[in-house]
Structure 1
Amino acid sequence: MMKMDIANEIRELNLSYLMLAQQILRADRASAMLKLGIGEDVAELIENLSPSQVLRMASSDMLLCQFRFDDTLLLNLMSNHGRENSAARIHATILAASKAVEHIA
Structure 2
Amino acid sequence: MQNEQILAEIREINLSYLMLAQSLIRSDRDQALFRLGLSEEAADRLAALSPAQVLKIASSNTLICRMRVDDDLVWTLLTNHGKGTAGNDAASRLHASILMAGRHQEAA
TM-score (norm 1): 0.89
Find the counterpart in structure 1 of residue 107 from structure 2.
101
Identity of matched residues, %: 48
Specify the SS of the correspondent of 1:98.
helix
Find the counterpart in structure 2 of residue 23 from structure 1.
23
Structure showing the higher helix proportion among its residues: 2
Find the counterpart in structure 2 of residue 46 from structure 1.
46
Deviation at 1:79, TM superposition (A): 2.2
Aligned length: 102
d(CA) in 1 for partners of 2:67 and 2:52?
26
Specify the SS of the correspondent of 2:70.
coil
d(CA) in 2 for partners of 1:72 and 1:52?
39
Specify the SS of the correspondent of 2:16.
helix
Structure 1 moving runs of 4+ over 3 Å: none
RMSD of aligned residue pairs (Cα, Å): 1.5
Gaps of 5+ in 2: none
Larger Rg computed on CA atoms: 2
Higher relative contact order (CA 8 A, sep 6+): 1
